Amino acid sequence: MISQTRKTRSHRRVKPAEIFGDPLCFLGFGFGSGLAPVAPGTFGTLAAIPIYWLVADLSTPVYAFIVIALAIAGIFICGHCEQRLDVQDHPGIVWDEIVGFLITMMFVPASWQWVVIGFLAFRLFDIWKPWPIALLDRTVHGGLGVMLDDVLAGVYAAIGLVILRSGFGI
């Protein structure tokens, strides 16, 4: 996974038939949200919100188990999409954003206010890519590489939300 032969990193337009005809790519492209012509990562994160509401009231251990399972599945899903499209980390592959957002929301109460704050915090860390996220994004490839930077962005955002919650007693 580390320093594999690099496929080209491209923003080539993907035809909907390429995604909707392949169940794993349909998942990888966030149920089609990754086909957005601009800001597919943002649209992928928006697609995570209904998924979050489905699991938000579960106990923390069950929620964590689901997120871990989705992250592990994401390594294979995102790797499959890369191979299918012959493109490294295509911006339309947004399964990683879905998992990253779910990580972000793991330790805060289920409310629209926290969803908005979590959305903004996750997008900030996903776009900013503070150390070591940017380094890992450049050096780890394949499905693991696609997932890893967003998982870490979700961890950073979750830490930020926990600090915000405890610091302000929210």
Q: What is the pLDDT of residue 14?
A: 85
C-beta separation of 143 from 75 below 8 A: yes
Per-residue confidence at 11, pLDDT binned at 50, 70, 90? low
Residues 65, 86: Cα–Cα separation, whole Å: 31
Tokens of 61: 């251990």
Q: What is the pLDDT of residue 3?
A: 39
Tokens of 159: 């830490």
Residues 33, 47: Cα–Cα separation, whole Å: 7
Residue 91 inside a domain? The answer is: yes
Mean pLDDT of 12-41: 93
> Alpha helices, DSSP H only, in the chain?
16-20, 23-28, 40-55, 60-85, 95-104, 112-128, 133-139, 142-168
108 compared with 17, residue with greater pLDDT: 108
Going by C-beta distance under 8 Å and a sequence separation of 6 or more, which residues neighbour residue 126?
41, 45, 97, 100, 149, 150, 153
Residue 11 inside a domain? The answer is: no
Mean pLDDT of 132-136: 93
Domain carrying residue 108: 23-168
Split into its structural domains, the chain has a count of 1
Q: What is the mean pLDDT of the chain?
A: 93
